Amino acid sequence: MRAHLARGAVIAYLAVAALLVALPVLYVLFAALRPGQALTGTFRDVLPTGFSLENFTAALGRAPILRQMVNSGVVTLAQTAAQVLTALLAAYALVFGRLRRPNLVFAFILLTMMIPGETILVANYLTIRSLGLFDTVVAVFLPFLVSAYNVFLLRQTFLSFPKEIEEAAVVDGVRPMRFLFGFLVPLCRPTVVTVTLMAAIAAWNGYLWPLVVSETPASRTVQVGIKILTDESGTDLGASLAGVTIAAIPTIVLVLLGQRFLAKGLTQGAVK
């Protein structure tokens, strides 16, 4: 009886937690699909009273959301690729390289995680201005080509990699880059996928820095564009929520595609 009660309590808790997480998402989606005049601004908007795409039409007509999504896509691809590549190379050097004091180098890398991003915002802004890159897509991802947290995750995973395989590869004359991309990456795929997903989601959802270095609608990312659309829409809640729905679709798809790797990727190598 106790086991059944405990199981029932766990199921009830998970159901309530799932409802609390899903309810805001459902509200945004259902409210965006309702006719504009039917919106009440309360949770009654999740009740079906009609179906219309006029909110999406209004959002796309008021702001260049599609162009801004392309900008966000370029930023996400460039920033994610750079962060994953630099993290792989740095983690490989820290674990399998011939560094004299790898732990000291790793400590300096971790120190960068303790510096709030807001403290270097002005310095980065002045650098972008001096390079003549202000109000360009390149300026959005240029300061974020390296991530210390991704280096940390991959290093911890590489530490758990069997040394015997690395020694056998060296004896067989395998080059370092071939060992990295032919052995380490495939065998540590959960962590690599997790790092890629986290980097991509962070790049897509960036707001403060893209807001600082972008000025015209054509160079803004979609997150900044949605905020501007919300301010300009005023009381048109439907158009604002339609824009939010459009901007959220890529991140939802990424999480759904990579969710089976997330938990394993974050815990792989934790014993080290």
Q: What is the pTM for the complete model shown?
A: 0.83
Residue 66 and residue 45 share a domain: no
Residue 39 pLDDT grade (very low, low, confident, very high; cuts 50, 70, 90)? low
Residue 246 and residue 262 share a domain: yes
pLDDT digits (tens, 9 = 90+) for 79-128: 999 999 999 999 999 988 888 888 999 999 999 888 888 889 999 999 99
Residue 131 and residue 44 share a domain: no
**Domain presence at residue 75:** yes
Q: Give the CATH number for residue 183.
A: 1.10.3720.10
Residue 98 and residue 46 share a domain: no
Residue 272 pLDDT grade (very low, low, confident, very high; cuts 50, 70, 90)? very low
User: Chain-wide mean pLDDT for the chain?
Assistant: 85
Structure tokens that stand for 127 in this block: 């650098």
Residue 91 and residue 21 share a domain: no
Residues spanned by the domain of 46: 2-52
Residue 48 pLDDT grade (very low, low, confident, very high; cuts 50, 70, 90)? low
Residue 198 and residue 127 share a domain: yes
Number of domains making up the chain = 2
Structure tokens that stand for 16 in this block: 């309530």
Structure tokens that stand for 87 in this block: 């993290």
The answer to whether 37 and 99 have CB atoms below 8 angstroms apart is: no
Q: Summarize the confidence of residues 37-65 as an average pLDDT.
A: 74
Residue 103 and residue 193 share a domain: yes
- HEC per residue, 92-155: HHHHHCCCCCHHHHHHHHHHHHHCCHHHHHHHHHHHHHHCCCCCCHHHHHHHHCCCHHHHHHHH
In this prediction, residue 35 carries a pLDDT of: 76
pLDDT digits (tens, 9 = 90+) for 257-267: 777 666 655 55
Residue 111 and residue 6 share a domain: no
Share of the chain above pLDDT 90, in %: 35
